[in-house]
Amino acid sequence: MKFRKTILTTSLVLLLAGVPTAAVSQVEIEGVTFERAQTVTGTPLELRGYGLLRYMVFIKAYVGAFYLPPETSDADALGPVAKRLELQYFHAIKKQDFARATRAKIADNVTPEQALQLKTRIDQLAAMYRDVRPGDRYSLTYIPGQGTELALNGTSLGTLPGRDFSRALFAVWLGGNPIDADFRDVLLGAR
């Protein structure tokens, strides 16, 4: 009996040893992979949620993944904690379309006074956007004390200061009036 148990245990260990590390350290959705964990200026971030955003129900627009420090609550997701949102696109999108959508969704999530205070930084962000092709990936990373960095395919396009700006920008996907409430819930790990 002890011999059988040893063989079973050894077989299980060998089976698990054959599992590729990527299967454990990444998740996949719609053929796109995201890391389960990342580090931002020394702060470990864990994948909170990931999902697919559809446009007009049938069109796959993009997949996204949202990262927060461990133990961070959903209520603190828009707060002054390190965070990252990655979005990978299935269709080509012009930079002016990003700028227009960003302005509109920020306005949906802040007061008119706040929008006025954020205007210069929103305009700076709009100038950073680039056209994307299918397979391109934007990331937004908030680094406390530094600001919110926009990167395309891992290359930084710039960083904009302010917790208020970070909160307003991340609210486009995670706020009370997001692009899509179901997508927000998936990013926050609620579904």
- What is the pTM for the complete model shown? 0.85
In angstroms, rounded to a whole number, what is the distance separating the alpha carbons of residues 17 and 19?
Answer: 6
- Digit-coded pLDDT (tens) for 101-119: 999 999 999 999 999 999 9
Q: Is the pLDDT of residue 20 over 80?
A: no
pLDDT at 58: 81
Angle formed by the axes of helices 112-128 and 163-174, to 10°? 90
- C-alpha distance from residue 107 to each of 103, 119, 168 (Å): 6, 10, 9
DSSP3 helix / strand / coil % (the chain, rounded to 5) = 40, 35, 30
Q: What is the pLDDT of residue 5?
A: 41
Residue 14: band (very low, low, confident or very high) from pLDDT cuts 50, 70, 90: very low
- What is the percent of the chain where pLDDT is above 90? 78
Mean pLDDT of 22-51: 90
The residue among 18, 20, 49 whose CA lies nearest residue 34 is 49
Domain ranges of the chain: 26-187
Q: Could you say which architecture CATH assigns to the domain 26-187? A: 3-Layer(bba) Sandwich (3.50)
161-181: b (≥16 Cβ within 10 Å) or e:
eebebbbbbbbbbbbeebbee
Residues 123-148, mean pLDDT to the nearest whole number: 97
